[in-house]
């Protein structure tokens, strides 16, 4: 089974609810946590609501902007995690029957969980290794997510009566963040190693064979089928265009090429082009849509037009100006000055 990338699948609101809860505990309002995300408090109370990874990242940016980009903020948020709050994938984990089987069964469905790390597991004769890949994350939210998701994993497992104490932690985090995470994992300081190329937890191999307190193999298989059905329904509902749009919005500082997006979706570029055409669009149209949205957002900041053009991947500012005139009927500098009135009729059809 191909593992769907986390950015390609709309997810439930569990992860955002946890972060909003933590933000409120630190004196924020729900509205302050959600500003700029397109989400409302009503969405968080809707069990059928679905959101994208980039919307969660915007919630993280709001938390960090208000609480400060200080070590430990992600850990504080992660401690609000429980396996039950992970949705159906959490109940599948609880049913185990062993920790190894639970993790291996969950890995193909990580996009259904609140985590944004790509977990995997290996073992040798003595040790087990839990890898938590953060390479797909935007750089500005990466430390927060590593803190939150590793601390959240430990908190959730402890809540399920699993004594999760690694022998060794290797992490991409800096020394201060790594030390705080090690403390939360109840590890001696000399077993925590910061500034590593990847995140890896080393565990006793025997820990993977622990039988979980609520283990039941039949129940685990039933939840696995539910996860498979849910993943397929979500992917089918948004189509390939929704998945491509999500990847283009994933990292504000990066607009990947069509081959890169196709590779992330585990298909070749020709297949991607054909499937987009079947949905009545193209990679170029989706790229234009995302660039236009970002351009309007960036024109409300203090960045120069030249800097905005560079952020949007244009080699020449003139190319960006030409594209913007095509989208909005006016030059970006005039748009920024408030001269939209004459352009509204030109761009109405495109906006629809």
Q: Backbone dihedral region of 177: left (phi > 0), alpha (psi from -120 to 50 degrees) or beta? A: alpha
Give the total number of structural domains in the chain: 2
Q: Residue 76 belongs to what domain range?
A: 6-221
**pLDDT tens profile 22-48:** 899 999 999 999 998 999 999 998 888
**Per-residue model confidence as pLDDT tens digits over 206-226:** 888 888 888 899 999 999 999
Same domain assignment for residues 181 and 245: no
- The answer to whether residues 94 and 196 belong to one domain is yes
In terms of domains, do 185 and 87 share one?
A: yes
Do both 66 and 181 map to the same domain?
Answer: yes
pLDDT digits (tens, 9 = 90+) for 283-332: 999 999 999 999 998 998 889 999 999 999 898 999 999 999 999 999 99
User: 320, 280, 263: which is closest to 296 by C-alpha?
Assistant: 320
Q: Are residues 82 and 148 in the same domain?
A: yes
Tell me the CATH number at 324. Answer: 1.10.10.60
Q: Over the stretch 148-199, which tens digit does the pLDDT of each residue have? A: 999 999 998 888 888 888 999 999 999 999 999 999 999 999 999 999 999 9
The answer, yes or no, to whether residue 344 has pLDDT greater than 70, is: no
- My answer on whether 87 and 208 are in the same domain is yes
In 3D, which of 162, 53, 185, 187 has the Cα closest to residue 102?
162
The two three-digit tokens of residue 217, written as one number: 């193999």
Residues 269 and 298 in one domain: yes
């Amino acid at each position: 089974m191909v593992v769907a990338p986390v950015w390609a699948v709309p997810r439930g609101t569990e992860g955002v609810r946890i972060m909003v809860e933590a933000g409120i505990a630190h004196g924020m309002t729900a509205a302050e946590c959600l500003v700029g995300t397109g989400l409302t408090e009503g969405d968080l109370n809707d069990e059928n609501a679905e959101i994208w990874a980039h919307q969660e990242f915007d919630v993280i940016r709001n938390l960090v902007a208000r609480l400060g980009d200080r070590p430990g903020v992600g850990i504080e948020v992660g401690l609000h995690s429980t396996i039950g709050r992970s949705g159906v994938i959490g109940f599948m984990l609880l049913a185990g029957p062993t920790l190894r089987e639970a993790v291996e069964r969950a890995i193909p469905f990580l996009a259904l969980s609140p985590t944004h790390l790509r977990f995997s597991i290996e073992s040798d004769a003595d040790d087990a290794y839990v890898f938590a890949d953060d390479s797909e994350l935007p750089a500005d939210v990466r430390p927060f997510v590593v803190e939150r998701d590793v601390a959240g994993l430990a908190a959730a497992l402890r809540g399920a009566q699993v004594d999760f104490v690694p022998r060794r932690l290797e992490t991409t985090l800096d020394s201060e963040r790594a030390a705080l995470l090690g403390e939360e994992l109840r590890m001696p300081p000399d077993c925590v190693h910061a500034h590593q190329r990847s995140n890896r937890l080393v565990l006793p191999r025997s820990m993977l064979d622990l039988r979980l307190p609520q283990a039941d193999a039949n129940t685990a298989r039933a939840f696995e089928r539910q996860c498979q059905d849910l993943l397929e329904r979500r992917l089918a509902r948004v189509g390939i265009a929704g998945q491509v749009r999500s990847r283009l919005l994933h990292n504000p500082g990066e607009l990947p090429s069509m081959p890169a997006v196709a590779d992330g979706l585990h298909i070749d570029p020709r297949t991607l082009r054909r499937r987009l055409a079947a949905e009545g669009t193209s990679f170029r149209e989706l790229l234009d849509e995302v660039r236009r949205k970002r351009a309007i957002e960036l024109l409300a900041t203090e960045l120069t037009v030249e800097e905005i053009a560079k952020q949007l991947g244009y080699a020449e500012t003139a190319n960006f100006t030409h594209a913007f005139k095509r989208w909005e009927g006016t030059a970006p500098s005039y748009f920024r000055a408030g001269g939209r009135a004459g352009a509204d009729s030109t761009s109405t059809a495109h906006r629809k």
